Amino acid sequence: MRLDGWLFMIISWSAILALFFYSLIRTLRSKDSNKSEQ
């Protein structure tokens, strides 16, 4: 794999993981993330 290939992979993975963990942590912190609403 070339250096630019590594760069693309790392940047893409980092961007997606950052988005995923940001949204997941915010979701888990919100008050009704796991409780029943009924």
- Least distance to another protein, CB of residue 37, Å: 6
- Least distance to another protein, CB of residue 27, Å: 5
Token look-up 């609403």 returns 37
- Least distance to another protein, CB of residue 18, Å: 9
Q: Site residues (CB under 8 A) for another protein? A: 1-2, 4-9, 12-13, 15-17, 19-20, 22-24, 26-28, 30, 32-38
Q: 35: which DSSP letter? A: S
Q: How many CA atoms lie within 13 A of 33 on its CB side?
A: 9
- For the chain, where are the alpha helices, taking DSSP H only? 3-29
